[in-house]
Amino acid sequence: TYGLAILLSVATAAAAWWYSREEERPLPEAPGTSPDAAIQARERWALAGLCFFSGFVVLALEVVWTRVFAQVHENSVYSYAIILIVVLVGLAIGAGISSVVARVVTRPWPALGVMTVLGGGLLTLGPGMLMHVTHGLEPVHTLESWDDYVGGLFDTGFRGIGILVVALGMVFPFLMKVAEREVRLPGRMLGRLLAINTAGAIAGALLGGFVMLPAWGMWGSLRALTLMYLAVSLLLPMGWGRLGIGCRVAAVGFLALAFTALDPTGYPVMGTPAGKQAAKVLQAWESGGGTVVAVERPSGHRAIVVDGGYALGSTEAYVEQANQARIPLYLFPDTETICFIGLGTGMTAGAALDEEEFPKVSRVVSCELTPAVVEAAKKWMPPQLTGGVFDDPRSQIRVEDGRHFLMASGESFDMINADLFLPYRRGAGSLYSLDHYRVAAERLNPGGVFVQWLPLYQLTEDEFGTIVRTMLEAFGQVTMWRNNFEPGQEKVALIGRLEDGPVPVPPPGKREEMQRAVEGLDWRGTTPDMLRVEPEAIPFMYAGNLTAAAGLFDDYPVNTDDRPVIEFQTPKRFREVAADDEVIWCVGPKLTRWIDRIFETSPVEKDPVWAGHPEANRHMVKAGLAFHRAMVAKALGDFDEVDGAWEAFQREWVMGAR
């Protein structure tokens, strides 16, 4: 695809060169025109300046608008593409209108004054229009069909910025028409104006993303661009006739409104999902990398939210976040060095620094792409939950892309622990790619492990199968481990190792206490989190040997950087599933069916993962299978299934605790 784009661009350049071999012939003067009709030197400068400024504002606005819609859309590649299409269509319509206007007007500068004031006025109204059509930046979380979803995004985009883009899109094509009509060598002039406009567009995109957003935020940036646009309209050489005076008065009026009644800087930077209570915004950061907000929810728990609706974690889910470090470290207690890809709230990396639990851990490197996430976690997450991640000398936080860090640094680790990544977010699919997994495998010390956590409540069975198949291509052994037993909210870890073999034997633990833990329990009064993750009971979390059951995943594609099926498939796939199935994600009954198939293919008695382990650990694995099945059946109201699964759980647990 990229090669085709290069080929088309080179072909266009070659065609332009071919037609430019002969010297351009001046156009004949139009009958009845005088030398005064030609563009004067002062007007040439104004023309060039307006061309630059037009490109600057449109591209800067596109960057800022994309950020505004990022608080609403799900931020897949399709969401960004739709905004681009809206802008391009609006510019095309504006160009068509300006072409007609250029044919009928006789005084171009007053016409340009009207166009720029019209655009500036709509820019003044623009933030309010965006707040109206997005219902106060309410995140879109719908499960309608793919066509309806895309149609809805287009509808929101065109209603939010469509008319504004049309107005802005009239200016540069009108300038081109004026220059074409009033100079005798139009080719050269049009080429220069296009180059100037392109330079302005590049500057606008760069400054919009890397200067304006960090300095003023998205609403402040919109106001600043409105101010620039209206200020330029005041400087145009449109004369002091009634039309010129009227345009200037209107521009001043819009400027006043932008700083008073229509000042957008008081608008929120994030909305509230439909049906939920609004969270209290503790602090917000806006930068080129995204909008990060630390919030306190009505329950009192704190969370870090990125771009509208994506929560990196919260104090409410502390146990599960800490388990993302504890489970792999309980499995491989000799681990000394760890690299975490994704810091989030800091609770996972902080749990790894517990000296009583993990005395051998000597170095923890946490990579976080967005600087504001680090600041939010340090300032607003309780220190007792983040451990020593911000002050322990063994901890190092690197503000950079974790994948790039592994590729470029050359450092190796005993464990690489990858956080949960929302698969349909733009860019996240590359963290599930074979290219990334192979780099991670190269950065493991001998005997090291790579841990990939999966949010199964955000993956369909297709994405689950694709990620498993991809990891199987990169590692000699891949096993699956649960983080929790909550039906509908399951998280699992895929643990990759270069060599196939058993995991270390866990400590014996307090067997009598383990047996008493289930005595007299009835499934009616139990919850999925009734049993804590402990070193001696770590086999309870085991969910199967994926390498031994690799044949189950043969029909799934491999996700690569060149063919990113995860990033492009997921936004469409879960809507297709929703049309036919009540359970969309790979959770609850879908997950238990997968686990059953895996154990049918690779029974625990023959599984090399448990070679050399006492028989009690195999019973503990079976207890975990039965407990999960019981919790899912209970959630579905299948009480006959619950009775049998619960009985199996109690039997296997007692045998595992002997």
d(CA 615, CA 652): 11
Does 163 score more than 60 pLDDT?
A: yes
Kindly report, residue by residue over 531-569, the tens digit of the pLDDT: 788 888 899 999 999 999 999 999 999 999 999 999 999
Q: Name the pLDDT band for 288 (thresholds 50, 70, 90).
A: confident
- pLDDT higher than 70, residue 23: no
Question: How does pLDDT run across 243-282, given as a tens digit for each residue?
Answer: 889 999 999 999 999 999 999 999 999 988 877 888 999 9
Classify strands 302-306 and 310-314 as parallel, antiparallel or unpaired.
Answer: antiparallel
CA-to-CA dists, residue 42 to 37, 256, 324, angstroms: 13, 29, 66
Nearest to 65 by CA among 260, 271, 208: 208
User: Does position 216 have pLDDT exceeding 80, yes or no?
Assistant: yes
Using alpha carbons only, give the angle 346, 349, 354 rounded to the nearest 5 degrees.
115
Are 292 and 305 a contacting pair, CB within 8 Å?
Answer: yes
Q: What is the pLDDT of residues 112-140, one digit of tens each?
A: 999 999 999 999 999 999 999 999 999 87
pLDDT at 32 over 60: no
- What is the band of 37 on the pLDDT scale with cuts at 50, 70, 90? very low
Q: What is the rounded CA–CA span in Å between residue 113 and residue 109? A: 6
DSSP 69-126: HHTTS---HHHHHHHHHHHHHHHHHHHHHHHHHHHH-S-HHHHHHHHHHHHHHHHHHH
- Judged against a pLDDT cut of 90, whether residue 593 lies above it is answered with yes
What percent of the chain clears pLDDT 70, i.e. is strictly above it?
96
pLDDT at 351 over 80: yes
What pLDDT does residue 33 have? 45
Tens digit of pLDDT for each residue in 356-398? 999 999 999 999 999 999 999 999 999 999 999 999 999 999 9
- Alpha carbons 173 and 184: distance in angstroms, whole number: 18
Residue 29: band (very low, low, confident or very high) from pLDDT cuts 50, 70, 90:
low
Mean pLDDT, all residues of the chain: 91
Q: What type of residue sits at position 186?
A: P
Would you state the structure tokens that stand for residue 172, as one six-digit string? Answer: 């540069």
What local confidence, expressed as pLDDT, does residue 34 receive?
A: 42
Strand 413-418: give its sheet, edge to edge.
395-398, 363-367, 337-341, 413-418, 444-455, 491-497, 477-482, 542-545
Contact 628, 587 (CB under 8 A): no
Nearest to 257 by CA among 395, 128, 397, 74: 128
Amino acid identity at 519: E
Q: Which pTM does this prediction carry?
A: 0.91
| Nearest of 63, 408, 365 to residue 212 by alpha carbon | 63
- HSE value, Cβ hemisphere, 13 Å, CA-based, for 554: 5
Q: Using the predicted structure, report yes or no on whether residue 234 has a pLDDT greater than 80.
A: yes
292 near 370, Cβ under 8 Å? Answer: yes
Mean of pLDDT values over 574-595: 92
- β-strand 444-455 against 491-497: which pairing, if any? antiparallel
Q: Please, which pLDDT band fits residue 36 given cuts at 50, 70 and 90?
A: very low
pLDDT at 482: 96
